[in-house]
Amino acid sequence: MNTTDIESIANEFGMSVGRFLHLFKLGKLPGQLPNRQFSQDQDNDIDLRLDLDGMKKSPAWKKIKRAADFSGQTVKEFVTETIMEAVRADEEIMILSPRTGKPICDRWTLDELLDGD
């Protein structure tokens, strides 16, 4: 990531590069996603309306069923939790545009940049 990229990201937030990086370091960028635990608590009762009957024909079904059994969950619970965990992992690193709500970069790229300072 170069200076121009950071400038365009800071512009999305309507602030200078210095202010953007300062708020990023503090974890206080406006409009960021809730923390991972909050998201996980909110996801507890989510229903993805999965077609499990269709999945039974998949070559992966036996593996999915075995993993669900091992974890002490139903297949529906296991698949839902697995999908939502992947979503939470991606959300955890996203930096969203406060203007559009779309991801514009990831935390790791900014962390690497700041580590170089």
Q: Measuring CA to CA, how many Å separate 30 from each of 19, 23, 33, 37?
A: 12, 9, 9, 19
Percent of the chain with pLDDT over 90: 33
Q: Measuring CA to CA, how many Å separate 42 from each of 36, 37, 94?
A: 10, 9, 18
Q: Measuring CA to CA, how many Å separate 59 from each of 56, 64, 65?
A: 8, 10, 11
Q: Which two tokens stand for residue 96?
A: 């969203």
**29-73 per-position pLDDT tens digit:** 886 766 666 667 777 778 888 889 988 999 999 999 999 999 999
Predicted pLDDT of residue 99: 86
